[in-house]
Chains A and B, each alone.
Chain A
Amino acid sequence: MSDSAVDADEVRHVADLARVDLDEEEVERFADQFAGILEHFEALEEVPDVAAEPELVNVMRPDDVEESLDQEEALENAPETEDGFFKGPKVS
């Protein structure tokens, strides 16, 4: 695993994981920019360990049925629906 340089294949791989299609020009440009940005992020390796316990509190409420959007409202912004459901492309 190289330390800083991001090559075009790596950008393509991450874009695939993130489900964002990129054209060749974008792949080249991002590979260039990511090298500089990731180099800056590498300064984080110098950060010391800090033993700080975050104050975490569970916030609970009874699991009651409350008023919410109805089915029609929930589907209002879907590009395609069918019989009260979201309609999407095939899964695989």
Chain B
Amino acid sequence: MGAHNAFITEASIEGASEGALDGRTVAVKDNISTEGVATTCGSDMLADYVPPYDATVVSRLKDAGATIVGKANMDEFGMGTTTETSAFGATTNPADDERVPGGSSGGSAAAVAAGEADLALGSDTGGSVRCPAAFCGVVGIKPTYGLVSRYGLVAYANSLEQIGPLANSVEDAAALLDVIAGPDEHDATTHDAGADSDYAGAANGDVDGLTIGVPTELVEGADEDVKATFEDALDAYRDAGAEVESVSLPSVEYGVAAYYVIAMSEASSNLARFDGVRYGESGGFEGNWNESFAETRAENLGDEVKRRILLGTYALSAGYHDKYYKQAQEARAWVRQDFEEAFESVDVLASPTMPVLPPKLGESVEDPLQMYLMDANTVPVNLANLPAISVPAGDVDGLPVGLQLVGPKFGEERIIDAAALLG
């Protein structure tokens, strides 16, 4: 299964005989449906699930001539920051086998970093493409909400998640985004933007005259080594003619809490479909439907998934809805407004993608709150439905550090162009 446990299922799905991705190999995260090939979401619940149809992004990969080489390992249902919650075992980081690759698209990032695929698709609900891209030293893009169809993506938190590309270079990631972007009649949240895109052509590293805003709140909490690497990258931007200035986004201090309340609430509803009757492992027919349902979920869902379903149910329950869910939506509106105001004076926003270096395996899963706090720099982007890219900024003793660039809505070309200076 490869040295890093990057794939749950290895495959060889040939695409059309020619196209933009002719001759390129792609790893597809295992929550993206592939007709006739198991799509497990990293869960025992769906260990035997074989979708009868392709996700729209998979149809587009095939039409573009790509060869799908496997279904990439992931945190169970996308819930995690380390790819350790997979029911099929943890993926390891190609940069250092004792460390995590980041999550939840850790298999996708590791496959690209280890050369087991040229390109990969992940999904990003709170940073799940950018985090493993940063930890594995590759490029990852979280597109604007609505740019890429979610048809065939097994839902975790619909209002936040987008499918996004991972690759070894900004240009390659942009080329994959060109293939998957654009409207889809099967997903009513998709948008006309991206229909005739040329993101790959925008990857020039042309930053002369660009104004880069650095939100102080997203740098303060980072480790010193990460901060130093980030500052060096900013110097490269200054040398190339960009202007760097500090900005303040006071709302992002509430980003982690707002993100987890909203994501867990949506998850508690989305994962109700896994009842062992329509699909999922059956709990058997002892007792009534509720008892059988509760049993199959107890047996086939992992700890992190149970934790989020329970907390989401709690946040939506009578007496707590206003305190948690309603306030989280207020925070989301505030975050969106803060970003909009920032983009009135700067072209892009820059921060470290992750405030820490990749942790060792087993270090973070025991303390869920600490793991959630690692997502502080990525989740505000999902709350505001904006595009962002993580590009390698350098390393600390061989451990990769990612730089995140955030753009205004449908500003993919701008962040791709700017990111190309580094990779």
Binding site for B on A (CB under 8 A): 1, 6, 10-11, 14-22, 26, 30, 33-34, 36-38, 40-50, 52, 54, 59, 61, 69, 73-74, 76-80, 86-92
Q: Please name 14 pairs of A and B residues whose Cβ atoms are closer than 8 Å in the assembled complex, sorted by A.
A: A14-B317, A18-B313, A20-B306, A34-B310, A40-B372, A43-B257, A44-B258, A46-B254, A77-B48, A77-B49, A77-B279, A79-B277, A80-B277, A88-B285
How far, in whole Å, are A33 and B303 apart by their CA atoms in the complex?
12
Q: B243: CB under 8 A from chain A?
A: no
Contact A37 B368 (CB under 8 A): yes
Contact B313 A14 (CB under 8 A): yes
How far, in whole Å, are A73 and B279 apart by their CA atoms in the complex?
12
Contact B294 A20 (CB under 8 A): yes
Q: A86 contacts which chain B residues (CB < 8 A)?
A: 277-278
Task: Knowing A20-B297, A33-B369, A40-B256, say if A47 contacts B52 (CB, 8 Å).
Answer: no
Closest B residue, CB atoms, query A46: B254
How far, in whole Å, are A92 and B48 apart by their CA atoms in the complex?
28
Tell me which residues from 226 to 257 in chain B have a Cβ below 8 Å from any Cβ of chain A: 251, 253-254, 256-257
Contact B328 A44 (CB under 8 A): yes
Q: B185: CB under 8 A from chain A?
A: yes
Q: In the complex, how many angstroms separate the beta carbon of B292 from the nearest chain A beta carbon?
A: 4
Contact B327 A77 (CB under 8 A): no
Q: B327 contacts which chain A residues (CB < 8 A)?
A: 44-45, 47
How far, in whole Å, are A22 and B295 apart by their CA atoms in the complex?
9
Stretch at the interface among B57-65, B104-112, B331-339, B389-397: B331-339
Q: A52 contacts which chain B residues (CB < 8 A)?
A: 333-334, 336-337
Specify which of B287, B309, B336 is in contact with A20 (CB 8 Å cutoff).
Answer: B309
Highest count of chain A CB atoms <10 Å: which of B258, B314, B328, B333: B314
Q: B317 contacts which chain A residues (CB < 8 A)?
A: 14, 17
Specify which of B282, B298, B319, B369 is in contact with A80 (CB 8 Å cutoff).
Answer: B282
Closest B residue, CB atoms, query A92: B288
Q: B330: CB under 8 A from chain A?
A: yes
Tell me which residues from 325 to 354 in chain B have a Cβ below 8 Å from any Cβ of chain A: 327-328, 330-331, 333-334, 336-337
Contact A44 B53 (CB under 8 A): no
Specify which of B185, B287, B306 is in contact with A26 (CB 8 Å cutoff).
Answer: B306
Q: A30 contacts which chain B residues (CB < 8 A)?
A: 306-307, 310
Specify which of A19, A37, A54 is in contact with B294 (CB 8 Å cutoff).
Answer: A19
Contact A18 B309 (CB under 8 A): yes
Contact A89 B368 (CB under 8 A): no
Contact A79 B281 (CB under 8 A): yes
Q: B12 contacts which chain A residues (CB < 8 A)?
A: none
Closest A residue, CB atoms, query B313: A18
Q: B188 contacts which chain A residues (CB < 8 A)?
A: 59
Q: B334 contacts which chain A residues (CB < 8 A)?
A: 47-48, 50, 52
Chain A to chain B: the 8 pairs with minimum beta-carbon distance, closest first:
A79-B282, A21-B298, A44-B327, A77-B279, A88-B277, A52-B333, A73-B52, A18-B313
Closest B residue, CB atoms, query A59: B188
Q: In the complex, how many angstroms separate the beta carbon of A57 from the nearest chain B beta carbon?
A: 10
Tell me which residues from 175 to 231 in chain B have a Cβ below 8 Å from any Cβ of chain A: 185, 188-189
Contact B289 A49 (CB under 8 A): no
Contact B298 A20 (CB under 8 A): yes
How far, in whole Å, are A89 and B328 apart by their CA atoms in the complex?
37
Tell me which residues from 266 to 291 in chain B have a Cβ below 8 Å from any Cβ of chain A: 268, 272, 275-283, 285-291
